[in-house]
Amino acid sequence: MPDPTGPIGRITRCSTQSFTGAVRPSALDLPAFGAFCQAQDQSGQVQVIGVIYDIRIEDDPLARQMAALEDLPSEQLADAQQNRQAPIEFSALTVGYRRAKGYSYSLPPQPPLTLAPVSLLEGEDLLQFTEKASFARLILASLNVPAEQLLAAALRCAVQARPEGERDRYLMLSGRSIARLLAGDLARLEQVLGALRETGG
Amino acid sequence: MSLDLPKLLPQVQQLSQSLLKQQAQRAQLLERALSAYQGLLALPPEELETRLARVGSRWTGARPAQESLGTSVAPPEPVPDLNVIGADGSQIYPDRHARVFFFLINLAGILIQHDCQSAPETRTESQLFFEPEQLRYESDQPVESAWVNLQRDLGEMMTLADMCEEVHDGAVLALLDNSLLLWMVLQARAAGERELDRILKAYFEAMNRLQTCGAALAGIIDRPRSSNVLALAALANQDVETIGADDSARVPFPGLTDRELFAHLLPEGHRSACFDLISPLNRDFHAVGQGIHFFYLHLPGNQILRVEIPAWVAGDRARLDRVHAGLLRESLSTNGYPYALIRAHELAVVTQAERLMVEEWIGRELATQGMLPTLSRKAFAKTQTSSGRRPR
């Protein structure tokens, strides 16, 4: 297993289908919607791979009271944004996993462990995992996420990870795979393509 | 639901009627109090001193300090780049019905620099008390909640002193969400004189450190119930010949507080004159140069705060103005309560869920050591009957 590159947070709750992590906003840049991430499962042999579908910042009465002010003191604004919001929660939909034999685009045998570090899937790992657009299957099968928007954002992330000269070809091949998956649901396919166009993919 | 709602409802209505009646009575009482206060202002200072000299040593009330009594001080200029430190504490009390007898104190502090773009510095320190000598007094009696409160109050003052000594640039305002007089000393007498002296000494040391590092220290009391100025006003209007030691038991304006008096007297943003507090406990504070004074402050939102300060703040106009201006600035965004104290409380508070989590951790740890302590039968029975279903 490769070492995770710089954790973005730690898991607070999870299942085989999704996991939720927490991150301090002051520690690093926030994860983005559609980004791929990974966390180790309970056996220590499997790296569970997810796509971030929700980033949540809760409010409270003090935040609401302060939001209504015309002139919020700068130190209180910094306190609210960097201290009080912690932790920010992000949730990822599981789209596959990796073990010694390679990648699988189905649900893992076990979920990650509580407080397991979550890191972004980047570089060569991201290229390999997204080489096939098979991760789209679990996204499109999920009922609890904005699937079309998420798939478009994930594809965009995979495209951006590739060298400029390979992007159009990758997008075309991925588009074909997704078109096959959604052959019986053209309205949904149009939603994915529309979202891709809007995100510049 | 085990409440007898049909019987309770008329009582709620009676409560409301009673409050309405009390409100009318208090308005009359306030008229009398305002008149007595005018009498106090008109009384020559030496005659007031004669009255204070005749009253018994157990009398508790206000004494004029350096400022003239009728003073109403307008908001001073804001202090640029002011550092505000707020400290607060919370606790898990010892419970003889729990699996293990222990207590926990959680202390928190926040350092906020006004007009600064960077986030405030925060800290939290949690300590578990479990050694036999921490859980029993010298008399071998188990410690009580008052003792925990006393230790927590000491910890809050020490947190302020620690954080204040780490500030190297700019003026400091150090705030506590409490009276500066360590009232818990009076409630924790079971700890024994030697232990109480040790706590008081440590508390005075922390106050000394704050004084030495240039801080302006203040204890904030929201919705204060004290009537020290009213007691002084009553004394000023009493026939001097009738004043004696038994006046400590007199209640001149039952139910009325200084807060209601100063709500009528102070314009928004203004503070009252500083008063010295005459009380047996404050005599101990005065003896070591840490006597407590106080004033009332009218904050936006029609809030009247009682602000307690050491004599070395009351006697130093720059530090006094820093308290006044700093509290006004701190309360701008919170509709009448200092932001630093709201945040210090938020950082310090031990929630019920956290208390249960700590107890569970302890239980698990003991189990790994082969120990299986149990709840008392009473506590266990409560867990069986407090699930929400209440059969009759």
**Residue ranges of domains in chain A:** 1-123, 130-201
Element containing residue A125 per DSSP (H, E)? helix A123-129
Which CATH architecture describes the domain B72-348? 2-Layer Sandwich (3.30)
Question: CB–CB of B305/B330 below 8 Å?
Answer: no
pLDDT band at residue A86 using 50, 70 and 90 as cut-offs = low
Q: Assign residue B219 a region (left: φ > 0; alpha: ψ between -120 and 50; beta: otherwise).
A: beta
H helix intervals, B116-227: 132-135, 145-165, 184-187, 193-212
Mean pLDDT of B160-170: 95
A162 part of contact set with chain B, CB < 8 Å: no
Question: CB–CB of B319/B218 below 8 Å?
Answer: no
Strand segments, DSSP code E, in chain B are: 61-64, 72-73, 83-92, 103-113, 121-129, 172-176, 216-222, 271-272, 275-278, 292-299, 303-310
The string of DSSP letters for B248-308 reads GG--SSTT--HHHHHHHHPPTT-EE--EEEE-HHHHHHHHTT--EEEEEEEETTTEEEEEE
Question: CB–CB of A140/A151 below 8 Å?
Answer: yes
CB contact under 8 A, A75 and B120: yes
Q: Which of B23 and B249 is assigned the larger pLDDT?
A: B23
Element containing residue A117 per DSSP (H, E)? strand A117-120
Q: Could you say which of A69, A78, A79 has the minimum Cβ distance to residue B343? A: A79
Measured in Å, how far apart are chain A's first and last C-alpha atoms?
31
Among the listed residues B58, B55, B51, the one whose alpha carbon sits nearest the alpha carbon of residue B281? B58
Mutate to test the interface with A, among B332, B333, B347 (most CBs of A within 10 A): B333
Tens-place pLDDT, residues B17-65: 999 999 999 999 999 999 999 999 999 999 999 999 998 778 899 999 9
Which pLDDT belongs to residue A151?
95
pLDDT band at residue A1 using 50, 70 and 90 as cut-offs = very low
Mean pLDDT of B141-164: 96
Closest-CA distance, B310 to chain A, in angstroms, reads 28
> How far, in Å, CA of B323 to CA of B46, rounded?
30
| Window A:3-62, CB contacts with B under 8 Å | 26, 62
Mean pLDDT of B200-226: 97
pLDDT band at residue A2 using 50, 70 and 90 as cut-offs = very low
Q: Could you say which of A65, A75, A81 has the minimum Cβ distance to residue B114? A: A75
Q: Could you say which of B117, B343, B346 has the minimum Cβ distance to residue A74? A: B117
Q: Which residues of B touch A (CB under 8 A)?
A: 110, 112-120, 122, 329, 332-335, 339, 342-343, 346
pLDDT band at residue A6 using 50, 70 and 90 as cut-offs = confident
- DSSP class of residue B191 equals G
- DSSP class of residue B65 equals -
Q: Could you say which of A26, A62, A72 has the minimum Cβ distance to residue B119? A: A26
Tens-place pLDDT, residues A39-49: 998 888 899 99
CB pairs under 8 A between A and B: 49
Mean pLDDT of A76-82: 86
Residues 6+ apart with CB under 8 A from B388: none
Is residue A64 packed enough to be buried (19+ CB in 10 Å), middle (13-18) or exposed (0-12)? exposed
A114 part of contact set with chain B, CB < 8 Å: no
CB contact under 8 A, B119 and A83: yes
User: Is this prediction's ipTM beyond 0.90?
Assistant: no
CB contact under 8 A, A69 and B113: no
CB contact under 8 A, B120 and A84: no
Which pLDDT belongs to residue A28?
54
pLDDT value at A14 more than 70 = yes
CA distances from A81 to A12, B180, B383 (A): 21, 32, 40
* Domain ranges for chain B: 72-348, 352-386
A81 part of contact set with chain B, CB < 8 Å: yes
In this structure, chain A runs to a length of 201
Mean pLDDT of B181-209: 92
